[in-house]
Structure 1
Amino acid sequence: MNFKVLSLGAVALAMMGSAALAAASGTSALDDPAKMSPFFTDAGMKTLRSEADFKTAWMAMKPDERTAVLKDCGDTTLNKAHAEFCAMAKKMGG
């Protein structure tokens, strides 16, 4: 009986841990290098492209991706880390 309880407890903990990892693992569009790299001139994603190049990259995104980025830019914490990008994205609009 104790073995069954311990086994069920271990399974429950594993499931909760998996859910927590999934929730914490880069759910922000702003933290997705594949989506963000076209907007920057360098691999470290520190220097934004020119406004014209930014607009080209912005318009190449799917509308739902642009919406997700703008939503993330509306988050105060995320915006702090990506302030320059978010300012340009808001300028481009939806």
Structure 2
Amino acid sequence: MNIRNICLGALALSMVSGVSFAGALDSPDNMAPFFTDSSMKTMKPKAEFKAAWDSMTKDKQEAMMKECQDAAMSKPYAEFCANLQALGGAN
């Protein structure tokens, strides 16, 4: 009985903590405005990219910049983060 409770507790904890690892760059709602297609493979041109960035709230901009500054978090989004850095961040 104790082993079962421990396993269920561990499973519940892993499910809850898994949601907290999803960041701003993992959210399709945050990323979609920067891409031309629904598969999010082709980024918009620089002018449209900047317009999408400028239309975001400061909170979202800060969260995205923070993740882009973390090497481990930004690796799958290298091209996107490079475009943000070219914009000068939240400017």
- Aligned residue number for residue 73 of structure 2: 78
Deviation at 1:12, TM superposition (A): 5.0
Deviation at 1:9, TM superposition (A): 5.6
Structure exhibiting the larger radius of gyration computed from Cα positions:
1
Output the TM-score relative to the length of structure 1.
Answer: 0.78
Q: Deviations over 1:17-55 (max 9, x none)?
A: 233223223521111111100100111111110111111
1:46 pairs, out of 41, 51, 54, with 41
Matched residue count: 88
Unpaired runs of 5+ residues, structure 2, are: none
- Aligned residue number for residue 14 of structure 2: 20
Looking at structure 2, the residues matched to 22 and 56 of structure 1 have their Cα atoms a distance apart, in angstroms, of 35
Unpaired runs of 5+ residues, structure 1, are: 1-5
- Work out the percentage of aligned pairs sharing the same amino acid: 35
User: Aligned-residue CA RMSD in angstroms?
Assistant: 1.8
Output the TM-score relative to the length of structure 2.
Answer: 0.80
